[in-house]
Structure 1
Amino acid sequence: MNYFAVSYSYPADSEAIASIRPIHREFLGTLKDRGILVGSGPFLDQDGGALIVIRLPEGATVVEATELMDKDPFHTESALDGRSIRPWNPVLNVFN
């Protein structure tokens, strides 16, 4: 499996994020059901933002991870201030 760390930037008090969050979580739920989502959640400091970790089949690229995450309502509704998607190697993990 190839893992990707997806980092979202948005203000902690974003009204757009709050209003879209239910359908964003539905989207993530479908990824979880498909075995793609490893974990996700907001950062708890005052800076806002979130981290999502996904896994795709061996050989998957950042392009494929981006195409998948482009379907997230946070992205399609232009609610994010920024986003990065980077390949990640969980050397020590519990993600069997």
Structure 2
Amino acid sequence: MTTYAVTYVYTDDSAARDTHRPAHRAFLGGLYAAGILLASGPVSDDDMQGALLILKGDSAEAVSSILDADPFHQQQLVAARAVTEWTVVYGPWAD
């Protein structure tokens, strides 16, 4: 399987993210337990709030399809999502 780096840019609705965060984290926990999600966590700067997720998948389309079930996505709390193939050269996920 190929490794993908996924970035989320969240909407400004932090109250809704707080409400749906437990379901979002449970969803990601299931992907982690299944060996699909390798790592994830929030990222932010002065202009945006979002997340970085590292997943294994057969294609970018397959990864996108999996992430369509994320409660944050379903509640329209993800304003933008990018799925990029990532060739890991060094580290625990290198082939």
Q: Please indicate the TM-score interval, normalised by the length of the shorter structure.
A: 0.7 to 0.9
Q: Aligned residues, how many? A: 93
Letter in 1 for 2:75: E
The alpha carbon displacement at 1:44 in A equals 4.4
Bigger shift: 12-21 or 25-34?
12-21
What corresponds to 1:90 in structure 2? 88
| Structure 1 residue ranges, 4+ long, deviating more than 3 angstroms after superposition | none
What corresponds to 1:23 in structure 2? 23
Runs of at least 5 residues in structure 1 that lack an aligned partner in the other structure: none
CA distance in structure 2 between the partners assigned to 1:36 and 1:3 by the alignment: 9
TM-score by length of 2: 0.87
What corresponds to 2:38 in structure 1? 38
What corresponds to 2:72 in structure 1? 74
What corresponds to 1:52 in structure 2? 53
State, as a whole percentage, how many aligned pairs show the same letter. 37
The alpha carbon displacement at 1:73 in A equals 0.6
Check if 1:10 corresponds to 2:7. Answer: no
Task: Point out the structure with the larger strand share.
Answer: 2
TM-score by length of 1: 0.86
Runs of at least 5 residues in structure 2 that lack an aligned partner in the other structure: none
Query: What SS is found at the alignment partner of 2:49?
Result: coil
CA distance in structure 2 between the partners assigned to 1:62 and 1:95 by the alignment: 17
Query: What SS is found at the alignment partner of 1:31?
Result: helix
2:10, 2:78 within 8 Å by CA — same for their partners in 1? yes
Cα root mean square deviation, aligned: 1.7
